Amino acid sequence: MAQQRLGIIMNGVTGRMGMNQHLIRSIVAIRAQGGVALKNGDRVMPDPILVGRNAAKVEQLAKAHGITRWTTDLNAALRNKDDTLFFDAATTKLRAKLLRRAIAAGKDIYCEKPVAENLKDAVAVAQAAKKAGIRHGVVQDKLFLPGLLKLKTLIDAGFFGRILAVRGEFGYWVFEGDWQPAQRPSWNYRKKDGGGIILDMLCHWRYVLDNLFGEVKSVSCLGVTHIPKRWDENDKPYKADVDDAAYATFQLAGGAIAHINSSWCTRVRRDDLVTFHVDGTHGSAVAGLQKCWSQALVNTPRPVWNPDVPQPINFFATWSEVPDSANYDNGFKAEWEMFIRHLYEGAPFKWTLIEGAKGVQLAEAGLRSWKERRWIDIPPLKV
Ligand SMILES: NC(=O)c1ccc[n+]([C@@H]2O[C@H](COP(=O)([O-])OP(=O)(O)OC[C@H]3O[C@@H](n4cnc5c(N)ncnc54)[C@H](O)[C@@H]3O)[C@@H](O)[C@H]2O)c1
């Protein structure tokens, strides 16, 4: 049994996602468990070098997590032949350019979504990766959430019969930043910085819908800026000039209809911050991040419309929770491990830059639908 070293250049790890999900919950956790086990008994140990603009911040982050290598010099990091994988979780705006630089330096790529701000750049990055013959992967974390894994089990078991419709509710109140700090970075609300909920969330909805319910064939999307003024990290007011909510309907291959509301301007009264309600001829289910509840046709209550009496049925009590059937790991970590196995033993890995580009394709189509006030078809993506 041998240990192999994977040198990873990790960019954008002082940010929210980079630090919490990718560094701490994924790479540091994989190191703590002794690496990723391969089929032949070998283990792959990630050896990251953290890259950031602020030396003090990166050094402190590295030290706090027992990581010895850090730098502010991305070019030098890319020149090091011993670090073969480039990872990026910095702002969306910079991503496509950074990926192109890393591909030109011969690195394999793993990165956050969206892979680019527009489809042209997303396809160009995927083409460059293909030409260079490197391996690549994109974060599609929602697929590895326990709630969605349980939903997938129900689909695979034929629980739903014919799936008719999917209703997704994503969102929560993101504070404006005046009397209490916002929970999201201010660039999310500025067009010039790559912000906007359509670009952010439709990338997720593409892989969720494609992988669980049927390929997205067309979209009708209405975006809106509900809150035009917010306060940034330095308590300064700024103009929020992008969509902070999107109301989108999707037609899927196979005939199911999906409608997903995405909003940073809604107050939660539902099971989780995101829920997917699936209705089929034989049963229905509601999945959140961790849990999933189902109701079969034979267990479906029989409501009768009568506004004159208080509702006699406690609807929430008529659903059964789908039990845990595995030890669910953090979804980001699970995908990192799959990607590492793909690098070292050629294990199948579907979620490439091409899949990432499909997410951008849907986001761009959503923006266009909003602008042109019409349905937009989603053609097969050629790379
Ligand atoms: N998979 C998911 O569920 C998910 C969730 C949220 C965000 N994201 C994606 O992750 C990325 C980061 O989002 P976040 O919420 O962590 O943002 P963030 O603002 O918290 O972090 C951004 C990071 O980029 C760095 N950065 C910003 N400008 C830079 C510049 N000019 N040069 C170099 N570095 C720069 C920052 O220092 C920070 O490390 C985005 O692309 C976003 O779409 C994914």
Q: Whose CA is nearest to atom 32 of ligand 1?
A: 53
Nearest alpha carbon to residue 148 among 215, 213, 245, 214: 213
Give yes or no for residue 15 CB within 6 A of ligand 1: yes
Ligand 1 lined by 12 (C-beta under 6 Å): yes
pLDDT of residue 80: 98
* C-alpha–C-alpha distance, residues 247 and 267, integer Å: 16
378 to 3, 115, 208, 214, 262: CA distances (angstroms): 45, 18, 16, 13, 20
pLDDT confidence of residue 1: 78
pLDDT of residue 331: 95
Q: pLDDT tens digit string along 317-353?
A: 999 999 999 999 999 999 999 999 999 999 999 999 9
Q: Which ranges of 25-145 does DSSP label H, i.e. alpha helix?
A: 29-32, 55-64, 74-79, 92-104, 119-132
Q: How far apart are CA 235 and CA 233, in angstroms?
A: 6
φ, ψ of residue 76 to 5 degrees: the values are: -65, -40
Question: CB–CB of 223/263 below 8 Å?
Answer: no
Residues 80 and 4 sit within 8 Å (Cβ to Cβ): no
In angstroms and rounded to an integer, the radius of gyration of the C-alpha atoms of the chain is 22
Low-confidence ranges of the chain (pLDDT < 50): none
Q: Is 17 in the pocket of ligand 1 (CB under 6 A)?
A: yes
Using CA atoms, how far apart are residues 195 and 200, in angstroms rounded to an integer?
7
Q: What is the pLDDT of residue 382?
A: 87
Residues 199-235 have pLDDT tens digits of 999 999 999 999 999 999 999 999 999 999 999 999 9
| Distance from the alpha carbon of residue 161 to the mean position of ligand 1, in angstroms | 40
What is the distance in A from the centroid of ligand 1 to the CA of 298? 47
